[in-house]
Amino acid sequence: MKQNPKRIGRTDISDLNDDPVVVWQHRNYLKTVAFMGLIFPMLVTGLGWGDWMGGFVYAGILRIFFVQQATFCVNSLAHWLGDQPFDDRNSPRDHVVTALVTLGEGYHNFHHEFPSDYRNAIEWHQYDPTKWAIWTWKQLGLAYDLKQFKSNEIEKGRLQQLQKKLDQKRATLDWGIPLEQLPIIDWDDYQTEAKNGRALVAVAGVVHDVTDFIKDHPGGKAMISSGIGKDATAIFNGGVYNHSNAAHNLLSTMRVGVLRGGCEVEIWKRAQRENKDISFVSDSAGKKIIRAGSQVTRIAEPVASADAA
């Protein structure tokens, strides 16, 4: 398995090349690993209490094995377990279990998004002993110029990722037929269909078919039936009962048409056909976002009912 050369990062390591300790360690890497990983632990246990084999096996071989497995989790478990609070275009994830295994490296999504930051975990309650150690070394004068990404940009990334997840969730929900796709219905046709047995209710210029909902209406059949074939805008918006946000959301799934002369609804729809500027907020898929309290059926002030438009 070879890394895609187009995705190999580039960075300036001239400061490391100028550090004599780092250069010496790089040149003598294998010797250093063999001595510090195997020989030194064996010397400590052997000279200390005569357990040469225990030092070689437990403090040497097994310790190296477990430390390497924990290290490898950074490029395996940290790309599989957890969530992605800052970006989901690549695989790194954040999870407390990975953080425990890797001494703080489990907040990998943050690390990939803000690689210049010396921290992996930015919340006080997140487990990141490596960050705490580096901070302590700074207080002791052993580290300096610790890099932190601007909190404003971190929060922007978090917010954008939350918005993306909201858009994905929004796309799975039924928000009703968009207004611009609804047919325009004349008032006389609306009343005729209602008299012929179809349970149609007009609210704010939008016609809704409530046939399947009548039996489930919390206010009873008589209450909702009283609005059939009429303009129930005032009734629905406080004239009888000021319906909840959930009620407006549910009503939107019952749309079947727009009344001719339905005020701003029809004007909005006509402007859509004529490609005029319409002010609304859309999600990343271009779908209109319906905020709580801004449903088309919600009227700020109760309006007088009318039997004709």
> Would you state the pLDDT for residue 225?
86
Q: Determine if the pTM surpasses 0.85.
A: no
> Would you state the pLDDT for residue 308?
42
How far, in Å, CA of 241 to CA of 186, rounded?
27
> Would you state the pLDDT for residue 309?
41
Query: What letter represents residue 137's amino acid?
Result: W
> Would you state the pLDDT for residue 284?
66
User: Consecutive sets of 10 residues in the chain, 309 residues long: mean pLDDT of each?
Assistant: 67 88 94 93 94 93 92 89 90 92 90 92 92 95 93 93 90 88 90 90 90 86 85 79 83 90 53 53 68 67 47
Closest listed residue to residue 206, CA positions, set 234, 241, 182, 236: 182
How far, in Å, CA of 276 to CA of 271, rounded?
5
Q: Is residue 184 a contact partner of residue 270, using CB atoms and an 8 Å limit?
A: no
How far, in Å, CA of 262 to CA of 267, rounded?
8
Element (H, E) at 160: helix 151-170
The β-bridge partners of 201 are 208
Query: What letter represents residue 35's amino acid?
Result: F
* Strand order through the sheet with 206-209: 184-185, 255-259, 206-209, 200-203
249, two tokens: 């959301």
Query: What letter represents residue 88's amino acid?
Result: D
How far, in Å, CA of 288 to CA of 167, rounded?
10
Residue 55, classed as helix, strand or coil, is: helix
Residue with tokens 């779908």: 287
> Would you state the pLDDT for residue 44?
94
Please state, in angstroms and as integers, the Cα–Cα distance from residue 261 to each residue in 187, 235, 258, following that order. 8, 19, 9
> Would you state the pLDDT for residue 94?
93
> Would you state the pLDDT for residue 292?
67
How far, in Å, CA of 198 to CA of 47, rounded?
95
Element (H, E) at 190: helix 187-195
Q: Is residue 168 a contact partner of residue 285, using CB atoms and an 8 Å limit?
A: no
